[in-house]
């Protein structure tokens, strides 16, 4: 089988936001090529005696996505959608050239090859372990989250996920019912249940999330009845809204891009109990005011804004 390589020329500061934006188009497992110097932690995790020589960082980055070859019409449509997303991003941030190029490559296991680069790591005092690695004896007493994102987004490495986790820890109680919009791998719901939450319901547009959540529940010892996933669009689908239920959640969390959070927020408030907490993330700093205004317009009170790198989390109360 042959694959089409879709490569985008951009800048390093725009890598994360472009990858997140294109995820909804079904593009996953981005290959990133840049000249950003390795961090101390990255150097420690490279099991080689001599580190690779790198050139001086020029700020340029290449993001590559791989799709199975199909009809030229469907590929042309996908490239058009990518172009629209890039043009939308250009309206509020610098993404460099934002040009798209196509090439053909041979059959490779793109879904699994990335695993050799994903190793266990810490989020504060939480040890995140991929399913293909063993827990060391000295770590067995830690709070451990086993996670395999599969083809659904969510390993916990990204700043936006970590912002959500820290906020969830502040508000979870043994009685918490959690609504997790855009659940992906289920990482936020599973960790919330491990932290003592009573029940979680997730929603997602991606069918791959169903299998990813099922596997991650199993390896983390989460009972099936404690975490259910509903496939569909909470913003526009009344059947999904009805199935989720109204005014029955203590916390709603949404780690989604700002452009989705704005229309989502006035919907989410209907599912929260009075006094319920709404935790958002995935907000690039330039979009903070826009999301904050949407939260206020929905009738919620902002209680805290936290930041990590260029990303923002807004926590509000109904």
The pLDDT tens digits of the residues spanning 272-307 come to 999 999 999 989 888 999 999 999 999 999 999 999
Per-residue pLDDT at 67: 85
Residue-wise pLDDT for 20-42, tens only, equals 888 878 787 788 888 876 555 44
Distance CA 128, CA 151 (A): 18
Distance CA 272, CA 177 (A): 10
Q: What is the mean pLDDT of the chain?
A: 85
Per-residue pLDDT at 57: 73
Q: In the beta sheet, which residues pair with residue 277?
A: 251, 317
pTM: 0.68
Per-residue pLDDT at 106: 63
Per-residue pLDDT at 241: 97
Query: What is the mean predicted confidence (pLDDT) over 61-87?
Result: 86
How far is residue 172 CA from its own chain's centroid? Answer: 21
Distance CA 97, CA 295 (A): 33
């Amino acid at each position: 089988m042959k694959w089409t390589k879709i490569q985008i020329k951009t800048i390093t500061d725009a890598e994360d936001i472009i990858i997140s934006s294109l995820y909804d188009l079904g593009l996953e497992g981005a290959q990133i090529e840049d000249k950003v110097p390795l961090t101390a932690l990255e150097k420690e995790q490279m099991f080689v005696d001599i580190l690779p020589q790198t050139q001086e960082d020029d700020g340029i980055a290449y993001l590559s996505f791989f799709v199975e070859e199909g009809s030229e019409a469907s590929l042309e449509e996908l490239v058009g959608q990518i172009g629209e997303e890039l043009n939308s991003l250009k309206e509020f941030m610098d993404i460099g050239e934002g040009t798209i190029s196509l090439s053909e490559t041979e059959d490779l296991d793109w879904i699994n090859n990335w695993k050799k680069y994903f190793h266990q790591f810490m989020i504060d005092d939480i040890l995140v372990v991929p399913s293909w690695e063993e827990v060391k004896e000295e770590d067995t007493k830690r709070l451990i989250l086993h996670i395999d994102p599969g083809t659904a987004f969510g390993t916990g490495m990204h700043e936006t996920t970590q912002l959500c986790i820290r906020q969830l820890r502040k508000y979870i109680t043994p009685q918490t019912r959690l609504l997790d919009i855009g659940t992906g791998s289920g990482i936020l719901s599973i960790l919330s249940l491990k932290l003592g939450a009573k029940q979680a319901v997730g929603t997602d547009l991606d069918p791959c999330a169903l299998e990813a959540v099922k596997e991650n529940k199993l390896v983390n010892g989460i009972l099936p009845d404690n975490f259910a996933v509903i496939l569909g669009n909470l913003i526009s689908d009344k059947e999904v809204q009805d199935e989720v239920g109204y005014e029955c959640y203590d916390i709603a969390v949404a780690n989604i891009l700002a452009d989705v959070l704005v229309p989502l927020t006035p919907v989410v408030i209907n599912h929260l109990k009075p006094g319920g907490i709404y935790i958002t993330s995935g907000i690039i700093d330039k979009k903070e005011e826009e999301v904050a205004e949407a939260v206020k317009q929905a009738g919620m009170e902002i209680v805290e804004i936290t930041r990590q790198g260029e990303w923002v989390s807004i926590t509000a109360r109904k």
